[in-house]
Amino acid sequence: MASNKRVFTLRLSDEVFDKIGALATKQHRSMTNYIEFVLLKHLEEVEKAEGAITANQTKSDE
């Protein structure tokens, strides 16, 4: 199935990679899916606390 999602690379130490893998396995998710899940959950929490995040925000907007 085609996806219109953008892709990027993460540089992680072996220790962090292994920890994320363990958490993903515990949640019955792939590592990619787990990382996406965690990031989306974090964005939701930040927006709930601070309001909507727009793509054109800069440090001076904070």
- Which tens digits make up the pLDDT trace of 1-60? 677 888 889 999 999 999 999 999 999 999 999 999 999 999 999 999 999 998 886 665
Q: Which of 51, 49, 41 is nearest to 61 (CA)?
A: 51
> pTM of the entire structure?
0.77
Of the pLDDT bands very low, low, confident and very high (cuts 50, 70, 90), residue 62 is low
SS3 for 15-37, per residue? HHHHHHHHHHHHCCCCHHHHHHH
Distance separating alpha carbons of residues 46 and 58, to the nearest angstrom: 16
pLDDT of residue 57: 65
